[in-house]
Structure 1
């Protein structure tokens, strides 16, 4: 993908370059037909197609661009992605985010070299194609949908090259469980995992292998509002890699937050919301990088005392006796408070 962008930049900066005919921007169905008619389409590598009048769902015209690597299809009158898209076997990048397309044809799943797919948010009314997991070269799935009932592609675990995945909805449907995340070891950036109340216990949660994903910087763990499973055990099994910088936990019905949370030395922001049964927090004051802390709707937590910094009453008594005898080896200042931090409780 980076090589394609580099070549495109060179062609723009050097109009005399021999590669200038590999990049084409068209603004009408007629222009596209003309390029196919004069056999110019075969040399095109990147096509930027803006069609104000739309495109036919069954058109075969795209197949004329048989060596195409990049296709950006835009225009809100473009309501369909032609089934002939499946003939562009060399396609690596497909961007339909600025179109009116609301469904993807099954032929898309023949694009075994596709590396990046960008879709407008909320666009896919009928979900992904059934054989989406055949796109084994896919690295970036740029798509967001905030409905926890939205169906994920079956057997996503086959997409082992995947780096960008904005959300994952856990389902009880075969091939849509949390274990599908286990093989996606290259995931990076932000990930939101929903419906965690459907996960049955700590061992099942461990199959997501979040601890083995060092490139994830932001993680949101979302449970249902009502769950019959032991959310506390599930959360225990979802321990992320120590590189995590931002963490959000919502609707967990466990009695306490796991102690692995204080083993996240790079954590900058923490949100714990609507965990109404939670009565115990870890010693969050020991997190060395924490700057922003949001605690909201934690109904069972009445107060936050010295245990926030890892201090308990017995330790204070022992420390007092030690100071009195002149043999103190640790003072209260050895616990680092949250400096320059933002609290919302």
Structure 2
């Protein structure tokens, strides 16, 4: 697709990038190997990453392939994903190895049917989910309790303080956690789909 500016594969020339990296117009990337060449995983000094597609995204599989290979370093502290057009999130998003991540925003990823398994991000304090318009329910996958290696004795979202849901027009059901440890032990603020703040008392 037409593009203006630096090609994503050119990022391989900058192995010592640090601080914040913003990558825009990812809908222009049609070959996931170009994204793979950026080698974000090796850039250990980037602490904040913004990955942004465009509103005109129509190629679900290409977007999925691109995000799959844009896995950042496990040193990442802040991550924002916007206008991603895939129908599911990559396996790395929510992996417990990202133990330094404290802030995560998923915005206008409106083709995804489920949330990624974010409950095992041990340091995550602020989570914002906006514009997942076809998501209908939140279940065990959100807590990271699905699949091999999952354990009901783990406590999901052990550090989360702020949780916001916004513009979730199809969301109707939130299934409770069935493990032995209550999730969200540090939660202070929950904002619902209407953006109205409520304080959650976790002292049960």
**Structure-2 separation of matches of 1:331 and 1:211:** 27
- Is the 1:196–1:221 Cα contact (8 Å) retained in structure 2? yes
- Is the 1:171–1:195 Cα contact (8 Å) retained in structure 2? no
1:331 is displaced (CA, Å) by: 6.2
What secondary structure does 1:191 align onto?
A: strand
- Alignment partner for residue 233 of structure 1, among 40, 43, 65? 65
* 1:176 aligned partner: 6
* 1:301 aligned partner: 135
1:172 is displaced (CA, Å) by: 3.0
**Structure-1 separation of matches of 2:34 and 2:160:** 38
Per-residue displacement from partner, 1:176-203 (whole Å, max 9, x unpaired)? 3111111101100001100100111322
**Structure-1 separation of matches of 2:78 and 2:157:** 19
1:211 is displaced (CA, Å) by: 0.6
- Alignment partner for residue 120 of structure 2, among 256, 268, 286? 286
1:280 is displaced (CA, Å) by: 2.2
- Is the 2:114–2:138 Cα contact (8 Å) retained in structure 1? no
* 2:174 aligned partner: none
Could you tell which deviates more after superposition, 333-342 or 189-198?
A: 333-342
Q: Give runs of ≥4 in structure 1 deviating > 4 Å.
A: none
- Structure 2 spans left out of the alignment, 5+ residues: 166-204
> Under a length normalisation based on structure 2, what TM-score does the superposition of the two structures give?
0.71
**Structure-2 separation of matches of 1:248 and 1:184:** 21
* 2:192 aligned partner: none
User: Within 5 Å, which residues of 2 pair with 1:35-54?
Assistant: none
| Pair member with larger Rg | 1
1:278 to 1:340, Cα distance in 2 relative to 1, 3 A: closer
Per-residue displacement from partner, 1:121-177 (whole Å, max 9, x unpaired)? xxxxxxxxxxxxxxxxxxxxxxxxxxxxxxxxxxxxxxxxxxxxxxxxx9635x831
- Is the 1:270–1:292 Cα contact (8 Å) retained in structure 2? yes
**Structure-2 separation of matches of 1:228 and 1:177:** 20
Q: CA RMSD in A?
A: 2.2
**Structure-2 separation of matches of 1:210 and 1:190:** 12
**Structure-1 separation of matches of 2:133 and 2:58:** 19
Per-residue displacement from partner, 1:31-63 (whole Å, max 9, x unpaired)? xxxxxxxxxxxxxxxxxxxxxxxxxxxxxxxxx
Q: Work out whether 1:206 is the aligned partner of 2:36.
A: yes
Considering fraction of residues, name the structure with more helix: 1
What secondary structure does 1:332 align onto?
A: coil
**Structure-2 separation of matches of 1:242 and 1:221:** 16
> Under a length normalisation based on structure 1, what TM-score does the superposition of the two structures give?
0.43
- Structure 1 spans left out of the alignment, 5+ residues: 1-169, 316-329
Per-residue displacement from partner, 1:73-126 (whole Å, max 9, x unpaired)? xxxxxxxxxxxxxxxxxxxxxxxxxxxxxxxxxxxxxxxxxxxxxxxxxxxxxx
- Is the 1:274–1:296 Cα contact (8 Å) retained in structure 2? yes
* 1:224 aligned partner: 54
What secondary structure does 1:247 align onto?
A: strand
1:183 to 1:284, Cα distance in 2 relative to 1, 3 A: same
Per-residue displacement from partner, 1:260-319 (whole Å, max 9, x unpaired)? 11232211000000111011222100111111000000012112112212224x99xxxx
1:340 is displaced (CA, Å) by: 4.2
* 1:244 aligned partner: 76
- Is the 2:89–2:112 Cα contact (8 Å) retained in structure 1? yes
What secondary structure does 2:119 align onto?
A: helix
